[in-house]
Amino acid sequence: MKTDVPSVVWTVEKLFQLPAEPPHARLFKEARPRDKITVSVGTLANPRFFRRAVS
């Protein structure tokens, strides 16, 4: 979940790494799977930006 919008849950769809780039994660919005974003794994792991959703 993004810390600035905790009511929206994002799920990791895939992890990937391009040459000379840090690893990234492709996420989709649980409520609207067509809504997708790509963020670096470092950003995803940073609690200032994201936190794990508890199921």
Q: Which residues of the chain are modeled with pLDDT < 70?
A: 55
Cβ count near 17 (within 10 Å): 11
Domains held by the chain: number: 1
pLDDT of the residue at 54: 81
Contact predicate 3/19, CB 8 Å:
no
Which residues constitute the domain of residue 29?
A: 1-55
* Percent of the chain predicted with pLDDT > 70: 98
Cα(28)–Cα(20) distance, integer angstroms = 25
Give all strands of the β-sheet with 10-16 in edge-to-edge order: 10-16, 24-29, 36-40
pLDDT of the residue at 50: 96
Cα(6)–Cα(55) distance, integer angstroms = 14
